[in-house]
Chains A and B, each alone.
Chain A
């Protein structure tokens, strides 16, 4: 019958249709099937925080600019990222891109979890960075790209200071005097954390800032630590006096970076030294009452030096999508992402980013000022060694011993330095 197909015709035409369909199907390499890369971060996209919103917006912008790359974000606390990168690498399933804190970078390089980026970034402008290109170079190789810079700044609550007649301090002596005037309890004059948990970051940042402001160095040329130098002892003496004169609470022995930031936001701490990334977080709660200033110096004539840290982006050595990972990093550290990054309170790393008109507007005022502090006061620690975590623990333990057991700064710092130097075999 006309119009009716035989079985042979049906099979033949069906096969033809399948072949034609397959031939007409877009190829995977043509971009229809995106490559999926994983990104390990401590910021949760769209969590309602300024930086969470910023990350979400930048991920969206990246997806629009690079439809051939899909990014899956895995979020864990920042203090757990180093171990997670090590563990996932050992398990053979590392994230393609990970956000690594600058002091933790050398340990990851030592462990062989990250890829040297030199072949991928040879065409990049090495002079377009607020801090030298070599800040993330170890052993002559480039291992990470800075995602932000975070100079240490003095954060304070304006009303507490004005109510007590304390001017914004510019020297360590003024900070101490102001803290003592405010007192040790609700509000605490100066927030400091001697706890060894959360990587002992609170004390480490304050201590390194005090040391380099005094002209000291954290490490000798042979890798041994110089924390027990005159500069280190001077900084510890200041901490001892802060406790003994009542400028901080005894509870500070157990305080951490996060509890101090929370205390400042909750108005129970008047002043503290933290990384610049905390400026926006505190301002989100304290609004106009939150203030910040450059780090204090040891004398009026010698301005304090900040110790700028950085969150960096690395590519896993075992990543199967290194090219895509680099494209993601280039976008997230580049001018297009910088505006959102600044809205989230971070200091974008590339000079060219600041050409965007946004940085001339009031919402960018804080970030622009932080950038200036970074450029003007950016004295910094030399390369962080792989065992920096151990040194931070030793410093925190020494400070606890000094405060609780009433030992001298020199005594406890000598002990801590010896412990670290034995550990590294120096």
Chain B
């Protein structure tokens, strides 16, 4: 208890650990081997206002891949060794419902950070994070209503769904650290502003689970770490 308080005071005094200790970077690429399961085509005909927003058929997004076996939507974060952060970033992260899809499909945030949920559609959505560690809630958001503001207090990968549109499915990655990155369509990720130290890096994919690697940063350097997931054929 007391040590924690002391620690919080101490870390509050340190303006930015990165500024004080120099800035190392861990970056790399997430790829897969094998053949990923084929994604299912979504039938949105029951929701014409959404269906007409898409010219090409929309599929599920449990595994999203890019060129050269790149794996998208993988959350890469520092799971151990990161400088302790007492406060959450003041900037909110945004989760948008558009065309009856979640943008982005996987949204990472720090514990306590503000989450804004926006409905850009002409239909009602209900935002239902199926949290197990955090509180499970379920809120309706009809068209034209202001963004919802929420936050999560505990680290958890939370499955999010809309019960009205059962194909809508995404994830909130709530992390204890703000040193996270979500791989883009080229599978690349980057974790900048790291002081020297020994780190454990974890990569999480919603269908393939997690992988970890240990990395040591000695100073102002960039270390390359790649993750390769074995694709599940179904």
Q: Do A and B come from one complex?
A: no
| Residues of chain B at the chain A interface (Cβ within 8 Å) | none
Write the residues of chain A forming the contact surface with B, with a CB cutoff of 8 angstroms.
Answer: none
